[in-house]
Every structure is written in C-alpha cells, then in structure tokens.
Amino acid sequence: MKKDRADTSSRDSEGTLPPPVKLRPLFGIAPEHYLPLLMLLVLLVILFLVFFLPALRRPGEPVKLHSSPPGSAVYVDGRRVDATPAELFLERGTREIVLRHPWFQDKTVSADVGNQLFRIPFHSRSRDVFYRLQLDEPDDLITDSVREFAHWALAEQPAYRHRGPDVLSEAVLAWYADPARVPTSISGGSDAETGNASQLDVLLALAPALLEHSGSGRDYLRALSLDRGAGGVLSAPGALEIVQTFIHLQNDTHAAFAVLEAVLPEKTAERFLESEWYGRARDRVNTAAAAHSLEETPLELDAPQTAVFAGVEFVRIPPIEALVGMQRDEEPIDDSLRIPHLLQLDEFWLMRTPVSNAQFAEFLEDNPGWGREHLEELREQGLVTPDHLADWDADERPNADGGFEFEAGQYRPDNAGNDELDLDYEEWLQLPVRYVSHPVAEEFASWFSERLAETGEELASRLPYSEEWEFAALLDGADLYEPVFRDGFVSGPVSVEEGAEGNLGFRHLMGNTWEWTASPYLPSTYALRPFQVSLGDLPELSSELAGAVPFRAVRGGSWANQPDEVALAAVGVQPRHFSSPFLGFRLAVVPRDRTDQAAQ
C-alpha cells in the first residue's frame, strides 16, 4: 500500500509521469563527457580563488618574527605594527624592519620580500625569522628594574588574575639576551669574562630586601631560576644552587622566616605559621631581643656634648650598640618584617633642631636654581612634585630683608587654644622648612658641606641614616616628652625653637614634621640582617643600586598625626621626589673621610 502511494505522488494531475530530462550535446560532445570536465573546471576556479588569487591581489608573504629579548617593538617602513613574537604579512618589495627594546641597540634590517603564490586560508605557511638585539645600556637595565620592582613590591598584594609584571624575571631574560653575558658555568649572573659579580648579581642580592608580598616573591623565585639557567632551562646543578642560596639566607640572617611568611600565598602561609619550625624560629628571635633591654635608654650621660658647625648647633651621639626595631615597652613594633636586632653605630653629630625656613633661605640665596620659580625645570628632571616649596612665594622669595607676601589665611596655627593669629615674616622664618623633596634635602647637605670646608673643619654633612635617627631619638628620650602631634592644641607646625627639649637637648625628633633620612626604604632589610651587625657593614648603605630604590625612609611623625599613631621605632616611606607639607629634615655631620656616604 505504501508503494502505491509513492507511485501516485510522482504522477501529474492526469496520472501520467513527466518526461525525463535529457541534456543535449555541447559542441558535439556528449553530456556524459563534458559534465565531468565542467565540474573539474568549477573546482579549479574555486581552488584558484581560494589559494592563488590572494597572492595576486596582495603580493607578499607571511612571516613569524622572533627576537631576543622577546617583547621588542616591531616597525615596518617606519610604522609600529606589533611586538615580538609577531605574525606579520610583509608586502612584496624591499622593506625596512626595525626592532626596538629599552636598553638595547635598535636592530635594522632591509628585507627583500617575495611573493608566496600558494596560501592556505586560516593557516598560512609562514617563514620563521629570528633576530638578536645587543644590550647597549646594562646599567640602565638594572637600575630601571630596581625602580619598577620597588614600586610593585610596595604595592598592595595583587589579585591572582591581575598580577603585576614580572619585573625581575624580564630583567634576567633581557640580560641573557646578549650571548656575551651567558656564563660558561652555572655561576649565575657573574661576568662571563672576569667571573666577578655583575650588576645582575647585585640586583638579585638586593631584591630579597624589597620583598613584601607573594607577588614579588613569585617574581624573585622565577628570576632566580632563570638566572641559574642563564636565561634558559634550569638544570639540576642550577636547582641545587637555588637551594643553597636559601640555606645561606637562613644561616646568615637573623629572621629570614619573616620574609618567607610575607611572600608565601595566603593558604600556604597559614600552614607555615602553624609549623613547629616557624615557632622555634620566632621564639629564638624573641629570646635574643629580650636579652637586650631598652630600660636604661636614654642613657644618663654626664654632660650632653654640643658644638656649633658653620653657625648651626649639633649634638654629639657617641658610639653605641643597641636594639633597633623595639619599643621602650619591650614590644616589637606592629610590623612583622621589622625584626629587632643589635646595631653598632660610630660617633656622629646631629642637628639639634630641624632645618628652618631661615636656614633654607640662606641656601636659596646661594642656589637660586632650587627655588620655586624653577619648579617646572625641577619637575621635568623628576626631582620634585608640584608642591615644591608651596609656602614660598615664587616671585618674591623670603630673604634677609623680608618683603615676603603671605596668602591670606595661609599660616594660621592654633596658638595653644587661643585665637588663631596670622604669622608675620619673622615667625614664619622659624618654622621647619617643608615641601622639600629628598633630592632638595641632599643638595642642602652638599651646600652645608661646602660651608664646613670653608671653616677648615674636616667634616662633611649628609642626611642621617634611619638607624642613626632612631638611636638619637632613643638617647634623647624623644618618646618620653610631649611631642608636637595633632590634638586639641596643635593644628600646624611650630617654631623649631619651641617645645620641650629631650635628654640630649634635641627638639622635635618626634612630631612637628616627619624627617627625611638617607636610607632607602627596604621593607625586609631588618629581617635579613644578622642579629648583631655594624651600620657600616650594611650592604644597602654602600650599594649604588640601593640608591636607585625610588623610596626613602622617613621618621618621627608630624603635627598631622595623632599621638598614638607613630611609634619611635616606626619607619615611614615616601617617594624620594615627593614634596609634602608634613615633611622636613635635619642634617648629620661625620668626619670627611668616613666612607658611609648616603646612597645617591
């Protein structure tokens, strides 16, 4: 029955079948012969359109461009097109290809590009081309890497999906992109010709002191692996060297476990803190610190010694060994990386008060190029921020004859709860100088050294190191008298000659203004020192590379801080070019032949 219905459906309305379709011969060729030829012709046309027509319409060839180091910018005929590794289509003819990468010489190639006639859509048969760039500025590579790594290391812990760049790892890859720098053994970044420590060695030695979270720790470990593999695959001997590096780090430092605690991922860190090894290491540190009490500090000196150098009063700090990073109540400061340890200091002299506006005005008389009228020039050099000397008039600088015009209401400190009074010129001169960056403070110290030389003194001035400042404050008992912090009676800085004097006669080591120090800010440096060490032996103070760290330690707090916000042992941090209304400085004086110069 089904067959009958099918037969019926093929019939017309009258019940008859339609006539069959018959193809006629073409040029005397029967259909059974020309139909296969016609289908073959259509297929050939399609193949031509797909595989050959693109080469006729746009002659050229695809190229896969690789470089060492990777990430080099690619310019074709003066136009930036990509970065290596890059897949490019180069049109036929002579093309100028330029590869550029920071710190490397440009690689310029004149390429004669032919025409690839046969092209497979979506899977072009590319020609692989490799170029090696020559490292031209190794010093800039290392110092720039220090600056960028410090910025990322001090940033907040990055999210897993938004991790920061691997700055150290990229520096290692760039270093070994130059074949001349690949060592013949597993000596890491040592100079291939002399075997001496290279700038890369110094960079990797400094990096642990900048570690503060797992993102920077991951980058450091990868960089170490790349270095031991000379920029390539890590070998078994190289892996052994990495293990030895961490063993030496543990044996040669007082509290490397604290750095490990900071850089481990959160869940791993939790298990680490619960481990027996961590508990023993932490107890060992606490026991060592407890054996050296601060109860007798400030010392009862027979007669605090002061001296006047080039018209400025200084206080002598005798040679001393004491704990840094510990509060007077014997409690560590609230910073897991600021591990208390014993530090030995040589004798030095420290200004009794912070540098005042009057003293800074003398500096500007001899060095007008640092005045506010040169703000734009100083900013272009990266030395200051827009607030540089913001409370100094740009057109009429304060000088010995006066004539300074104040903005209305600009200086209105609360005078011990009395009515607010505008400051006159003479009162303003006695305020601590503010809105000065670290380079400005260093230039002031150089100028003062010249004044010392003119008096015949065999002395030089510089900013104090962070630890020198802390010991001076401990000896002075700066945390025991009432500093100028923000409360109901203080709403601005006060004269450098106002306020209580400490045990040694200092004023305002705590409060009034934060103070610049010569020390680069290295968050993990306390944990990576031996328990007992001399200031002169600290590598970060003699390393020019440490001087490239773009942050400096600041100490003491300011009038804008609450009294319980800043501890004497606490260390603040500021970008070295930062000009702040809460930040000033004072000078230290040491023998001219002292080698512990501040890192520039």
| CB atoms inside a 10 Å sphere around CB 487 | 12
CB burial of residue 463 (10 Å; 0-12, 13-18, 19+) = buried
Phi, psi of 398 (to 5 degrees): -60, 140
Model pLDDT, residue 21 = 75
Model pLDDT, residue 180 = 72
Model pLDDT, residue 113 = 80
Q: Helix/strand/coil (H, E, C) string of 475-493?
A: HHCCCCCCCECCECCECCC
Residue with tokens 């305020």: 431
Pick the closest to residue 445 from 365, 369, 373, 363 (CA basis): 363
The answer to whether 136 touches 103, Cβ cutoff 8 Å, is yes
Coil, strand, or helix at residue 79? strand
Model pLDDT, residue 168 = 92
* pLDDT by residue, tens only, the chain of 600 residues: 444 444 545 555 566 777 777 777 777 787 777 778 778 888 888 776 676 666 666 777 888 999 988 889 999 999 999 999 988 888 888 889 999 999 999 999 988 887 766 666 665 677 888 999 988 888 899 999 999 999 988 876 666 556 778 899 999 999 988 777 766 444 444 444 444 468 888 899 899 999 888 888 889 999 999 998 888 888 888 888 888 888 888 888 888 888 888 888 778 888 888 888 888 888 888 888 777 766 555 555 567 789 999 999 999 999 988 888 877 665 555 566 778 889 999 999 999 999 999 999 999 999 999 998 899 999 999 999 999 998 886 444 444 444 444 343 333 333 322 333 356 778 888 999 999 999 999 999 999 999 999 988 889 999 999 999 999 998 998 888 888 887 756 668 899 999 888 889 999 999 999 999 999 999 988 888 998 899 888 887 777 788 889 999 999 999 888 888 888 888 999 999 999 999 999 999 999 876 444 444
Model pLDDT, residue 592 = 86
Model pLDDT, residue 162 = 62
Starting at the edge strand that comes first in sequence, how are the strands of the sheet with 73-76 ordered? 79-83, 73-76, 93-100, 107-113
Query: CA 189, CA 175: separation in Å to the nearest integer?
Result: 9
Model pLDDT, residue 420 = 37
Q: Helix/strand/coil (H, E, C) string of 225-237?
A: HHHHCCCCCCCHH
Model pLDDT, residue 335 = 60
Q: How many helices (H) and strands (E) does the chain have?
A: 17, 19
Model pLDDT, residue 376 = 94
Model pLDDT, residue 389 = 92
Model pLDDT, residue 261 = 82
Q: Which two tokens stand for residue 200?
A: 């890369």
Model pLDDT, residue 407 = 40
Angle (deg, nearest 10), helices 138-154 and 214-228: 150
State the pairing for strand pair 459-462/572-575.
Answer: unpaired
Model pLDDT, residue 12 = 54
State the pairing for strand pair 93-100/73-76.
Answer: antiparallel
The answer to whether 208 touches 249, Cβ cutoff 8 Å, is yes
DSSP per residue, 12-24: -TTS-PPPPP-PP
Model pLDDT, residue 251 = 83
Model pLDDT, residue 255 = 86
The answer to whether 473 touches 389, Cβ cutoff 8 Å, is no
Which residues is 113 bridged to in the sheet?
Answer: 93
Q: Helix/strand/coil (H, E, C) string of 82-96?
A: EECCEEEEEECEEEE
Pick the closest to residue 505 from 247, 367, 317 (CA basis): 317
DSSP E strand boundaries for 495-571: 514-520, 532-534, 551-555
